[in-house]
A and B are shown apart, each in its own frame.
Chain A
Amino acid sequence: MPGLIIDDIPVEVPAGTTVIEAARSVGIWIPHFCYHPALGSVGACRLCAVKLLDGPVKGIQMSCMLPVQEGMVVSTTDAEAQAMRRNVIEWLMINHPHDCPVCDEGGECTLQDYTIAGGHGLRRYDGKKRTYHNQELGPHIQHEMNRCIHCYRCVRFYQEQAGGTDFGVMGSGARVYFGRFKEGALDSPFSGNLVDVCPTGVFTDKTSRFRARYWDYDMAPSLCPGCSLGCNITPVARYRELLKIKARRNDGVNGWFICDRGRFGGREVNDPARPRAPRVDGVDVPWDQALDTFVLRLGELLATHGAGSLALVGSPRLPLEGQLLLARLAEIVSPGNVCWFTTAGEARGVLAALETLPPEGVASLADVRGAGCVVILGVDLLAEAPMMALAVRQAWRNGAKVYVMGISEWTFGSFLGISVTPVSSLDEVPPAERVKPVLIGNSRDLPSARVDEKLWGGARVALLQSGPNAVGAALLSVDHDGASLEELLASGRIKGVVAVEADIPGSWLAGIPFVAALDWRQTETVAVAQLLLPTTSWLEMDGTFINYEGRAQRFLKVMNPGIPLRGLDPTLHPPRIHRSVPPGGDLRPAWRLLAHLVERLGGRSPESPFTGRWERLRDLHPEGEGIMVYTHGSDSSEGGG
């Protein structure tokens, strides 16, 4: 552990750490453009200049390129270092357009920040600026090359990290150009990360163009509900509308990036026509009336058909709080008839996958990135969990061998720019290659013999699940002997169904006299339900998801519920009726509705959904790596706070 001094602060960091990282570890932020923790140090922008006053190296140095050495004395505030940084900014601003007022990056632009921070206020260059032609890069990314400061982050992400081949760097000297080799939509399923890595406004999110400024954003740490990986995101909203999604760092999960599906998906929350008012028999009614009707009809059903006639159905997309309250409600109204899965196959698969969850068995995305050997068992990662595919590519870049079983090695390998070997059974992987092996599969294909094969070479296993909270659903299924709705219906005694954010095929519910739905999506189930209680989406509430590896993570409320300003009838503007709740905004989370129903039905609803062994999730912080929640009844371990 070399020791050095940075701005009079003694620092001790592991050998190999660069000065910029060492400074960061004691809270000193050295300005930089080209350095990126995930993309590494390349020394191109020359902004991170510091001055070494004493020790083995002296003078102006680039802190990102300089590994720490014993006895270094570093000054980040030295006049010469500051002058160098000011000059770098001046050089970059020579050609940078003064279009901040019409640039979407304005307010969240690193160049803007550093130009102001660095003191380059007066322009000395009196010549013409360099201009470029922009490219049409498809529906997601807006290209504005004139703003480019040539930090090479975009190409380093696109080609090195993501294996894309259609986008790169062309030209030389002052004419270097970053774009596609031929105009057109970007091929990579990770292209949206260009927006995140670009320190200025060359790549901006086209889907939210000209919609809001950084200081107007509603933002909160959140999670992507797109698949079971649990990637960390920061959704950006304004006026009750989700505008864009940015990646949020979590080194244990997604690292620094997210996939395009997660970034550009999830916009159904903006649908003005999604369930926004309680409805009874097709007619919007006030909340009190809807809840009264719910309790009344439920009572009638139970009186007529008995306690075993009601099925309560949750889902793998229902946050853990709702799943827990659903179990509580079931204890009161229909013990034993609660489930969190619709089909029997899904339930079987996810439950079987729980066996992989103990800490020595499950592979996190970080484990996949650090694997020495990866075997993909018949799952199309690019379609089902793209960030898992990106993790596989990082493993490959670090020297791991990648084998695929039951999928096209050509499609997978070529799309990620990695070489893969097809095998027809796990035995074909040479034993010598089984170094830090990770098997990646899908719980859907279980319970075949595959889960036993996890013993293979001490491999860790990553099994993709059917939803962002499928593991939560599986753990509760074990706790409460929950079956699947398919199995409950097969018994023939079910006469009523309460579906909580559950996707039940309409045909399954055709002969059921009482169907109530709690949901925020306009689903088939909602369409056939006689009773609808609308809920908030995951962006409009705090909640918890447990990802495929048993990692509980908290997401926070990003925006208030309600019809987006943009979805309102323009003739109603300006508003003549002033209310405390925006139109379509009288919504509450499913778990709160369930808690209310528990009380209405004579039960006692707890202060927090997290009781008993779940209590430790009460203070789960949305930042950090999450908390590991392992199998039923067993201990769980901290995965960081």
Chain B
Amino acid sequence: MEQVLFRHNRPGRCITFAEYRSQGGFGALTRALRELAPLDLQQLVMDSRLRGRGGAGFPTGLKWSFVRRDLPGPRWLICNCDEMEPGTYKDRVLLEANPYSLVEGVILAAYALGVPHAFIFIRRGYESAAANLRRALAEATTANLLGENILGSGFSCHIDLHLSAGRYICGEETALINALEGKRANPRAKPPFPAVKGLWGGPTVVNNVETLANIPDIVANGPEWFRSLGATPDAAGTKLFCVSGHVQNSHCFELPLGMTLGEIIDGPCGGMKPGRSFKACLPGGASTPYFTREQWGIPMEFDAVAKAGSRLGTGGIVVFDEETCMVGATLNLIRFYARESCGWCTPCREGLPYVRHILERLEGGRGEPGDIDLLREQVKYLNYAFCALAPGAMGPVDGLLRHFQEELREHITLKRCPFGGRG
């Protein structure tokens, strides 16, 4: 299978600047600065049908095109590397092996958008990734691939690496912008969207690490090549799938977008652990409704997964075997979300701990028949929260209610967890 983002990887260590360059690294930047006007570059990305890899899958070129270029004052570009979704670790794996694709991608995106100053907002826990990036930025600056008048093109771009103070909500783009401005990491109301009014009130694009790291190869090989990478006609490019749970090989794999769930688990993952069978998985990180055996054949690309009732999200696949208590698994996720609420709006701040409480009650054998309806009610009304955190957190609960109602009932009738609390 063709490796794009992982093409440069060296076993056990991070690639060096010289190695990256010798493999054609920064060639796309050099060529773009010489041959492509910013809007051509944007069109190229649009034609590639690259969709945001941070979770929402919004078309990247379209997002860029929302930025008005005729306003006074600076525009901004932010790379979102606040990867904190349970089960998702693709950006870390990418950056620990190779920070240069991202740096090149950020500079290219900055060029396309006319941004003189970009930020990489990185999760505090990602220390070695941050160290790699810091080194890469310094090397790129020394080589005049970054900074003033890049390669004599007249285009100048600076990149600041910002270490987040560390909250899950900082991954939400408007909360990230607030955090970057030194404010409390509460999301902002949308509209206005960041493309209209973002960082310090200026037009701002926020893109995920993986999204931006794809740009150099799109520029180098063209949009048609990129579209051809997908496993289905609708899917463009490769995707980093980070698999964890009860499979033989839990790694981060770069696979064609649109491979089916079954192909991924039985293929690169080497199937389930010996003697275990597949029960369910989170298809795209902790905020997505569960897939079961029924969705085994679903192509893992944005639209197909959405049609099947879940979200591709970040591509973080968490696999559960048949001995897993799904109530306990869901409770574990909800504990995370309840803790990570920023506390801004009522449904998230008060509703998530309530859901956690109900699940604790069920898992602890103290559930009552009404609790299933109560959960259903919470799922419905938590969707009217201020930002996507609480609705996202309701993803697995929604999946639990849709696919594992029997299991919930068993908890209530047996007055204990039928799996002995193994969640």
Contacts and interface: CB of A to CB of B under 8 A. Distances in A.
A94 interface: yes
**Which of B340, B343, B350 is most buried by chain A, counting CB atoms within 10 A of its CB?**
B350
B384 A43 contact: no
B341 A172 contact: yes
Contacts of B361: 126
Given A88-B347, A91-B347, A125 B341 contact: no
Interface in A117-161: 124-127, 149-150, 152
Interface stretch (A8-16, A173-181, A276-284, A348-356): A173-181
Contacts of A45: 345-346
A173 B189 contact: no
A88 B338 CA distance: 16
B381 A83 contact: yes
Contact of A91 (B184, B185, B351): B351
A150 B189 contact: no
B350 A173 contact: no
B55 interface: no
B117 interface: no
A42 B189 contact: yes
A59 to B, nearest CB: 9
B339 A173 contact: yes
B167 interface: yes
A46 B346 contact: yes
Interface in B52-80: none
Contact of B357 (A60, A127, A169): A127
A169 B385 contact: no
Contacts of B189: 42-43, 65
A173 B353 CA distance: 10
Contacts of A169: 184
Nearest to B381: A87
B377 A46 contact: no
**Which of A47, A62, A152, A173 is most buried by chain B, counting CB atoms within 10 A of its CB?**
A173
Interface in B382-419: 384-386
Nearest to A177: B343
Contact of B350 (A42, A43, A49, A95): A95
A173 B341 contact: yes
A85 to B, nearest CB: 10
A91 B351 CA distance: 6
A92 interface: yes
B350 A44 contact: no
B384 A150 contact: no
A592 B36 CA distance: 88
Nearest to B343: A176
A171 interface: yes
Contacts of A127: 357
Interface residues of B, number: 30
A149 B352 CA distance: 15
A92 B339 contact: no
A43 B345 contact: yes
B371 to A, nearest CB: 9
A124 B339 CA distance: 22
A84 interface: yes
B304 to A, nearest CB: 26
A49 B386 CA distance: 12
Nearest to B185: A172
A46 B384 contact: yes
- Contact count band on A: 20 to 34
B349 interface: yes
**Which of B338, B384, B385 is most buried by chain A, counting CB atoms within 10 A of its CB?**
B384
Contact of A94 (B185, B341, B354, B384): B354
Interface in B173-200: 184-185, 189
A172 B346 contact: no
Interface string A162-196: 00000001011111100000000000000000000
B350 A124 contact: no
Interface string A24-60: 0000000000000000001111110100000000001
Given A60-B384, A125-B357, A172 B338 contact: no
A531 B184 CA distance: 64
Interface string B350-390: 11111001000100000000000010011001001110000
A173 B390 CA distance: 12
Given A42-B189, A60-B384, A174 B344 contact: no
A159 B385 CA distance: 25
A44 B386 contact: yes
B342 interface: yes
Given A42-B189, A49-B384, A127-B357, A94 B350 contact: yes
B343 A174 contact: yes
Given A60-B384, A95-B350, A46 B345 contact: yes
Contact of B342 (A65, A87, A172): A172
A125 B347 contact: no
Interface string A91-109: 1101100000000000000
Contacts of B346: 44-47, 88, 91-92, 149-150
Interface in A415-461: none
A84 B374 contact: no
Given A173-B342, A173-B343, A84 B384 contact: yes
A619 B377 CA distance: 55
B17 to A, nearest CB: 39
Contacts of A88: 346-347
A22 B339 CA distance: 37
A173 B346 CA distance: 10
B384 A91 contact: no
A171 B343 contact: yes
B167 to A, nearest CB: 6
A87 B349 contact: no
B343 A172 contact: yes
Given A42-B189, A174-B338, A92 B350 contact: yes
Contacts of B354: 91, 94, 125
A83 to B, nearest CB: 7
Contacts of A172: 167, 169, 184-185, 341-343
Contacts of B378: 87
Nearest to A61: B384
A84 B381 contact: yes
B82 to A, nearest CB: 15
Contacts of A46: 345-347, 384-386
A307 B341 CA distance: 81
Contacts of B340: 173
Nearest to A91: B350
Contacts of B338: 173-174
Which 10 pairs from chain A and chain B are nearest by CB?
A91-B350, A176-B343, A87-B381, A173-B341, A127-B357, A173-B343, A172-B343, A46-B346, A44-B345, A91-B351
Interface of A: 42-47, 49, 60, 62, 65, 83-84, 87-88, 91-92, 94-95, 124-127, 149-150, 152, 169, 171-176
30 contacts: A44-B344, A45-B346, A46-B346, A46-B386, A47-B346, A49-B384, A84-B381, A87-B377, A87-B381, A88-B346, A88-B347, A91-B346, A91-B347, A91-B350, A91-B351, A92-B346, A92-B350, A94-B353, A124-B374, A125-B357, A127-B357, A150-B349, A152-B344, A172-B169, A172-B185, A172-B341, A172-B343, A173-B339, A173-B342, A176-B343
Interface of B: 167, 169, 184-185, 189, 338-347, 349-354, 357, 361, 374, 377-378, 381, 384-386
Given A46-B385, A169-B184, A176-B343, 12 more contacts: A44-B346, A60-B384, A127-B357, A149-B346, A150-B343, A150-B349, A172-B341, A174-B338, A174-B343, A174-B352, A174-B353, A176-B349
